[in-house]
Amino acid sequence: MTVEAYGENLEEKLSTLVDSMKRKQYQPQPVKRVYIPKAVSKEKRGLGVPSTEDKLVQIMLKKILENIYEANFLDNSYGFRPGRSCHQAVNALNKAVMYRPTNYVVEVDIKKFFDNVQHKWLMRCLRERITDPNLLWLIKRFLKAGIVESGHYEATELGTPQGGIISPILANIYLHYVLDLWFEKKFKPRSKGYMELVRYADDHLFCCEREEDAKELLKSLKQRLGKFGLEISEDKTRIVKFGKKEWQQGIREKRKTESFNFLGFIHYGTRSRKGRVMIGHKTSKVSLSRKLKETKEWMKKIRNKVHLRDWWPVLKAKLTGHYNYFGVSGNYRWINKFFWRVIKLAYKWINRRSQKKSMNSKQFIHYLQVNPLPKPRICYSLYTK
Q: What is the DSSP string of 157-193?
A: SS---BTBSSHHHHHHHHHIIIIIHIIIIIIGGG-SS
Q: Which pTM was predicted? A: 0.91
DSSP letter string, 217-286: HHHHHHHHHHHTT--B-GGG-EEEE-SHHHHHHHHHTT-PPP-EEETTEEEEEEE-TTS-EEEEEEE-HH
> How far does CA 245 lie from the centroid of its chain?
30
Whether residue 104 is contained in a domain is answered as yes
Model pLDDT, residue 349: 87
Question: What's the CA gap between 276 and 271, in Å, rounded?
Answer: 5
Co-location of 232 and 305 in the same domain: no
Co-location of 203 and 347 in the same domain: no
Model pLDDT, residue 35: 80
> 29: pLDDT confidence band, cut at 50, 70 and 90?
very high
Q: Given a cut of 60, is residue 18 above it in pLDDT?
A: yes
Mean pLDDT of all residues in 262-283: 96
Q: Given a cut of 90, is residue 139 above it in pLDDT?
A: yes
Model pLDDT, residue 39: 57
Whether residue 376 is contained in a domain is answered as no
Co-location of 213 and 125 in the same domain: yes
Tell me the pLDDT of the chain averaged across its residues: 93
Whether residue 245 is contained in a domain is answered as no
Co-location of 193 and 86 in the same domain: yes
Rounded alpha-carbon distances, angstroms, from residue 114 to 50, 69, 109, 161, 356: 16, 19, 12, 6, 50
Sign of CA dihedral 141, 143, 144, 147: positive
Whether residue 208 is contained in a domain is answered as yes
Sign of CA dihedral 241, 246, 247, 249: negative
Domain edge (last residue) among 211, 236, 261: 236
Q: How many domains does the chain have?
A: 2
Co-location of 358 and 212 in the same domain: no
Domain edge (last residue) among 203, 236, 269: 236
Model pLDDT, residue 141: 95
Mean pLDDT of all residues in 159-184: 95
Whether residue 279 is contained in a domain is answered as no
pLDDT, one tens digit per residue, over 35-63 is: 877 655 566 777 888 989 999 999 999 99
Co-location of 227 and 317 in the same domain: no
Question: What's the CA gap between 79 and 239, in Å, rounded?
Answer: 23
Question: What's the CA gap between 144 and 349, in Å, rounded?
Answer: 46
Whether residue 106 is contained in a domain is answered as yes
Mean pLDDT of all residues in 307-329: 96
User: Are the CB atoms for 265 and 205 separated by under 8 Å?
Assistant: no
Question: What's the CA gap between 238 and 205, in Å, rounded?
Answer: 10
pLDDT, one tens digit per residue, over 87-113 is: 999 999 999 999 999 999 999 999 999
Question: What's the CA gap between 56 and 15, in Å, rounded?
Answer: 13
Co-location of 225 and 128 in the same domain: yes
Domain edge (last residue) among 206, 236, 266: 236
Give bridge partners of residue 149 from the DSSP assignment: 152
User: Are the CB atoms for 30 and 145 separated by under 8 Å?
Assistant: yes
Co-location of 231 and 290 in the same domain: no
Co-location of 232 and 290 in the same domain: no
Whether residue 263 is contained in a domain is answered as no
Co-location of 85 and 172 in the same domain: yes
Whether residue 316 is contained in a domain is answered as yes
Q: Given a cut of 80, is residue 373 above it in pLDDT?
A: yes
Pairing of strands 152-154, 147-149: antiparallel
Q: Given a cut of 70, is residue 203 above it in pLDDT?
A: yes
- Beta carbons within 10 angstroms of residue 53's beta carbon: 18
Question: What's the CA gap between 86 and 322, in Å, rounded?
Answer: 14
Co-location of 224 and 121 in the same domain: yes
Residue range of the domain that includes 316: 285-370
- Beta carbons within 10 angstroms of residue 124's beta carbon: 12
Q: What percent of the chain has pLDDT over 70?
A: 96
Co-location of 159 and 66 in the same domain: yes
Give bridge partners of residue 198 from the DSSP assignment: 205
CATH number of the structural domain spanning residue 20: 3.90.1850.10
